[in-house]
Amino acid sequence: MPAERRTLDATPAGEPHFCHNRREYTPGVAAVSTIPSPGPTAVPTPLSAEEPDAATLARTAEQTASTLLAPAAPHRLADVVPAPQHVQPDPTADWALPADAVIVASADPAALAVAEQLAQLLRPATGYPLPVTDATRPEPAGAIALVLDGSADLGAEGYSADLGAEGYRLDIATDGVRVTAATAAGLFYGVQTLRQLLPAGIESPSPVTARWALPGGTITDAPRFSYRGAMLDVARHFFAVEDVLRVVDHLARYKLNHLHLHLTDDQGWRIAVDSWPKLTTVGGTTEVGGGPGGHYTKADYARIVSYAAARHITVVPEIDLPGHTNSALVAYPELAPDKTAPPPYTGTEVGFSYVDPADERTYDFVADVLGEVAALTPGPWLHIGGDEAFKVKGEVYTGFVERVQRIVADLGKTVVGWHQLAPAAHLDGRVLQWWGTNGEDPTTVDAVRRGARLIVSPGNHAYLDMKYAPDTPIGHDWAGLIDVRKAYDWDPGTHVAGVPAEAVLGVEAPLWTESVTSLADIELLLLPRLPAIAELGWSPRASHDWAGFRDRLAAQGPRWTTAGITFHHAPEIPWPTAPTIPTQRTTPQPDTAKP
């Protein structure tokens, strides 16, 4: 286990220490924790088996009480990742969540669902009941209100704005909090902002005592790009549904709205296809390194899709064609150019396999597979891969791609593919995912001129499988090292020379998993770079500022620590050195957190 994942939590002597994995309150005693320490500069103190004496306990209680009773300054209204579009602080209008607060929502199922999600976020740490009611009842004073309002100009005073389908306005005043949006997605993003403005202790899975204060003022916010995504490669290593759902949670926190699942590759086929059952029963049983692999049943996949949808995230399934298909050829040798089954592949080379583009049976296979995947997928996109098919060249390659693009269109879906698709004929709406490392790419520019739109995923900025530094225990370095600044300091709107910003649909951070074998590995590579990419996708370019981002990102560390999430303690980020988590309650409160 890499050092990041087993650390000694340090606590300055005499200060209360809340140890999450053991759920106990140990004044002045450091504890071995399986969650990361708050920062690289934390100084470990020795473990002590001694009980604190009465005087120490009394002093601790006094210090704790004075910390908790002091009107702790809430976060600043602008301390949010991704940076909001417009922030108007009002220091006279701070608000504190009362224990009897009510969450009121517009009488609309989608708005009420967001209200219930907010309650579920707040109940575990606060221990408050936080009942959810609809707005047909009178709005009680001190409530958090979630209001669907499609007609109003949501701009704040002196700042008029069309907040579009995903925007929201958050008003925090002494007499209550209100999120207003035209859609449930907007309300959901307002809730994510509200969550970050509360103290880090709000991420605790069990009750802690804190003053649950929010900074007064108004935020008006909307995304820069409509497509903000991350990709998880579940083919090189297979990940259980629960792991994928947890990744969805991470995306949701940072207002990402697409999860691209790389479902098939040489090393394994991960999605059940009824008409070609051996894809999973044979092709799904391998993975990199010789592990058992696995696959999603249709019910598993539907569970991921609906969990993501409830968080306003659209799943983009990828069936990689015509290359990266060894696992399919093992299952169905008739698809192979020489009609012979290749041996199963568990290495990490690319570019050697392909389905036979000269055989009509291949197109039956493609139509059947894409048809079943499309039927399971409510979102508009079908990703057909297209990368690194080194043995399918020239017109044979473009001819194959053009046929597959038409199959996708006939299914009523929009084609997405890696930018190697560029030379193929344009088809209405098609989207290329650009993963180059050099922003000069005339072939892609030409495809854009013919109508293609781009999702930008530069290998040397957005690839989450690249190492942070030479000593990162997992990951690649073929596109260079990507520290947090490298992940943050680029502009999706201008990155590919000659592609106008209007052609850029958005940004995506792919995570390839050749060396990634566990959820902790996934989180180590995702955090803290995912929020950097999320900010590029959401925040106005004018807000781009490394120094400010670094500070706002640093404040996420205690949140991840409190929630038990692994992350890389990137040395360029000024992580807080002391836990900001207050004491665990001594009097147990009812746990209303269970869904």
Catalytic residues, by residue number, are 388
User: How many binding residues for ligand TNX (CB under 6 A)?
Assistant: 10
Distance from C-alpha of 292 to C-alpha of 302, rounded to nearest angstrom: 23
Chain positions 215 to 234 lying near ligand TNX, rule: CB under 6 A, are none
Q: Are 379 and 314 in contact (CB under 8 A)?
A: yes
Task: Kindly give, in sequence order, each residue whose CB lies less than 8 Å from that of residue 353, ignoring residues fewer than 6 positions away.
Answer: 266, 323, 324, 325, 326, 329, 342, 345
Residue of 512, 549, 567, 575 interacting with ligand TNX (CB under 6 A): 512
| Residue 238 touching ligand TNX (CB under 6 A) | no
CA angle 252, 253, 259 (to 5 degrees): 30
Rounded least distance, CB 325 to ligand TNX, Å: 12
Q: Helices (H) and strands (E) in the chain — how many of each?
A: 15, 23
d(CA 72, CA 90): 16
Residue 334 DSSP label: G
Binding to ligand TNX by CB under 6 A, coded x per residue (else -) over 118-147, reads ------------------------------
Residues 6+ apart with CB under 8 A from 413: 374, 377, 380, 381, 382
> Smallest distance, Å, CB 344 to ligand TNX?
17
| 393 versus 594: smaller Cβ distance to ligand TNX | 393
What is the 8-class DSSP label of residue 587? S
* Minimum CB distance to ligand TNX, residue 531 (Å): 21
In this structure, the number of other CB atoms found within 10 A of the CB of residue 390 comes to 13
Q: Taking the complex as a whole, how short is the minimal distance between the CB of residue 477 and ligand TNX, in angstroms?
A: 9
Which of 465, 508, 521, 535: binder of ligand TNX (CB under 6 A)? 465
Residue 387 binds to ligand TNX (criterion: CB under 6 A): yes
Q: Are 296 and 304 in contact (CB under 8 A)?
A: yes
User: Closest by alpha carbon to 10, among 28, 34, 25, 24?
Assistant: 28
Decide whether 356 or 387 has the Cβ nearer to ligand TNX: 387
What are the backbone angles phi and psi of residue 219, rounded to the nearest 5°? -115, 130
Applying the rule CB under 6 A, the residues between 313 and 342 that interact with ligand TNX are none
In order, the DSSP letters of 37-77 are: -S-TTPPP-----PPPPHHHHHHHHHHHHHHHHS-PPPPPT
Which CB, 119 or 231, lies closer to ligand TNX?
A: 231
Q: Which is nearer to ligand TNX, 123 or 476 (CB)?
A: 476
The correct pick among 169, 476, 550, 569 for binding ligand TNX (CB under 6 A) is: 476
Residue with Cβ nearer ligand TNX (78 or 516): 516
Asked if 48 and 31 count as a contact pair (C-beta separation under 8 A), the reply is no
Contact 455, 434 (CB under 8 A): yes
219: β partners: 87, 170
316 and 260 in contact (C-beta within 8 Å)?
Answer: yes
Question: In this complex, which beta carbon is closest to ligand TNX, that of residue 307 or of residue 435?
Answer: 435
Quote the least distance from Cβ 321 to ligand TNX, whole Å.
12
E strand residue ranges, 457-526: 504-511
Rounded to 10 deg, the angle between the 241-253 and 184-197 helix axes is 80
Please provide residue 553's backbone torsions phi and psi, each rounded to the nearest 5 degrees.
Answer: -65, -40
The smaller minimum CB distance to ligand TNX, of residues 354 and 435, is found at 435
Which is closer to ligand TNX, CB of 463 or CB of 490?
463
Minimum distance of ligand TNX from residue 418's CB (angstroms): 4
Q: Quick check: 388 binds ligand TNX (CB under 6 A)?
A: yes
Amino acid identity, position 256:
L
Q: Please report the sign of the dihedral spanned by the C-alpha atoms of residue 269, residue 270, residue 272, residue 278.
A: positive
CB of 396 to ligand TNX, least distance (A): 20
- Interface residue with ligand TNX among 173, 241, 282, 350 (CB under 6 A) is 350
Of residues 416-435, those binding ligand TNX (CB under 6 A): 418, 435
Closest listed residue to residue 188, CA positions, set 47, 308, 33, 320: 308
Cβ closest to ligand TNX, residue 166 vs residue 265: 265
Minimum Å distance from CB 350 to ligand TNX?
5
168 is an interface residue for ligand TNX by CB under 6 A: no
Return the number of other C-beta atoms located less than 10 Å from residue 485's C-beta. 14
Do 583 and 64 contact (CB within 8 A), yes or no? yes
The residue among 215 and 322 lying less far from ligand TNX, judged by its C-beta, is 322
275 φ/ψ sector (left φ>0, alpha ψ -120 to 50, else beta): alpha
Q: How far is the CB of 516 from ligand TNX (least distance, A)?
A: 10
> What single-letter amino acid sits at 216?
G
Is residue 436 close enough to count as binding ligand TNX by CB under 6 A?
Answer: no
Smallest distance from ligand TNX to CB 97, Å:
44
- In the complex, which residues of this chain contact ligand TNX (CB under 6 A)? 350, 387-388, 418, 435, 463, 465, 476, 512, 514
